[in-house]
Amino acid sequence: MLNNARFRGEFYDVREMRAVELNSASLGFSEELMMENAGAWVAKVARSKGESFLILVGKGGKGGDGLVAARHLALMGAEVMVLFPYKECEIKKETTKKNLERAKMSGVRFVKEFTEADVIIDALLGTGVKGMPRSPAKELIEQSNDFNAFKIAIDLPSGMDPDTGECELCFEADLIVTMHAPKPGLKNLMDKVIVAEIGIPKRADQYLGPGDLLLRPRGIRKGSNGRVAVIGGSKRYQGAPWISALAAFRAGADLVYVYTPTRMDFPELIWRKRTGTRVEEMSLKEALEKDRINVIVVGPGLAEEALEITKEVLEYAKEKDVSLVLDADSLKVLPEIGEKLGWKAVLTPHLGEASKLLGRSLTDSPKERMEAAFDISDSFEACVILKGPIDVVACKDKLVLNTTGNEYMTVGGTGDALSGVVGALLGRDEPWWAAKATTYAVGKSGEICVEERGHASPTCLIETVPKVLHSVK
């Protein structure tokens, strides 16, 4: 199953597809190469459908695909007409501009109005355009729908929301040539879909890269980027929750509270003295509600109090629909609690903790680690970061691997820093994206720390993670 399925799931939404494209670019596979392959695929599929072709070309990347298709069809000896209803200065991509010039030099005829043809190819509106199409695309879609010709859409029909399939006005395609993976909006049209491989390497799908840092934009009001509580610490382990909390704050959480027995001096963080399940003069649940917490990181350094506290945290999270990160000691007691987490949580086990979560001994083989990550995700209804030389991130039917990091990240506290970063990112994004971005960013930060300082201490990770998170816009 793991060899045959797409690692990131069967359907790629707009953000997932963009992530894979950015990962491909970082591996040396350019946008221009992918556009050339996409257009060539469309031409190959379209050539058997007629002798004359009208290609409706937009000003974005999809328009570039259409121009490549026009050039290839012309070189095959077909009659090709391109209708580009915009000014050339409106073209958004350099690759599209290049392919406009190439099409002009390849025998393609440019027309100024809708013209009869055996086949109409829709290269107007791509995944970045949502809502009702505007002029001139609107009129061209309407004319195409009224005309008796074979209709081919590139990637998805113009006018369709790629993630939902909604459309007020859509190009009525007989055939859809979608790129690399079908979009969720095409789920009900798969009998019309051909998937074209455009040169994206398998590694861009299967491994994390800079594209996986494409988090949702930050909110503009205090608290909109997460009010995080880190619950942990004990007589034996005093520093763990503070490392986690400081990592959460530096990674972008707006407010971070530390519920722990022992105080340390970090002016950015808000301390609440915790004694067992009591916080100051309140119960743990009362304190969380008073502080309006919407993300809880529980487990770092919790030791002997883990069972009772984790149980109460899970009850509160279920009642209040709060996101969770379970780490360290809270992971050890999770099988005893036996609670499903409703896909609102991220678990961060190493191999030993994963073995306890599943109740079976695990080896470090890649195949077994991937299967274990999927099994943990299914068993507890949570996203999983299974830490190791090659990290595994799994969530529902999706899985991806990570090779950033190095052997210096075995030092104490790096796992606490990771749990805090996950907590911060859960304050602004869904668990799958928070888990992916954290795993890549923390590993990349470890590489930078060793290169610049010769070590990958938690302090260096905490300082470096924000720079990595901001490296992709």
Is residue 385 within 8 A of residue 400, CB to CB? The reply is no
User: Which residues have a Cβ under 8 Å from the Cβ of 417 and sit 6 or more positions away?
Assistant: 243, 244, 247, 442, 458, 461, 462, 465
327 annotated binding-site participant: no
Q: Among candidates 304, 360, 365, which has minimal Cα distance to 330?
A: 304
User: Which residues have a Cβ under 8 Å from the Cβ of 42 and sit 6 or more positions away?
Assistant: 65, 66, 68, 69, 121, 152, 154, 177, 196
Can you spell out the DSSP letters for 238-262? -SHHHHHHHHHHHTT-SEEEEEESS
Q: Cα angle at 234 between 232 and 236, to 5 degrees? A: 130
Is residue 434 within 8 A of residue 422, CB to CB? The reply is yes
9 annotated binding-site participant: no
126 annotated binding-site participant: yes
392 annotated binding-site participant: no
Task: Identify residue 31 by its one-letter amino acid code.
Answer: E
Can you spell out the DSSP letters for 343-369? T-EEE---HHHHHHHHTS-----HHHH
310 annotated binding-site participant: no
Tokens of 118: 């055996």
- Residue 67 in 3-state DSSP? helix
| Burial (CB count <10 Å: 0-12, 13-18, 19+), residue 304 | exposed
Tokens of 197: 């491989």
Distance CA 5, CA 16 (A): 16
Tokens of 331: 């992971």
344 annotated binding-site participant: no
Tokens of 362: 């695990």
185 annotated binding-site participant: no
131 annotated binding-site participant: yes
265 annotated binding-site participant: no
127 annotated binding-site participant: yes
Please count the CA atoms within 13 angstroms of the CA of 442 that sit on its side-chain side: 36
Tokens of 447: 């590489």
398 annotated binding-site participant: no
132 annotated binding-site participant: yes
226 annotated binding-site participant: no
Question: What region does 12 belong to: left with phi over 0, alpha with psi -120 to 50, or beta?
Answer: beta
Please count the CA atoms within 13 angstroms of the CA of 219 that sit on its side-chain side: 14
Distance CA 86, CA 104 (A): 16
Q: Cα angle at 309 between 304 and 315, to 5 degrees? A: 150
Annotation: binding site for AMP? 415
Annotation: binding site for (6S)-NADPHX? 126-132, 155, 240, 301, 350, 416
Annotation: binding site? 122, 126-132, 155, 158, 240, 301, 350, 415-416
Annotation: binding site for K(+)? 122, 158
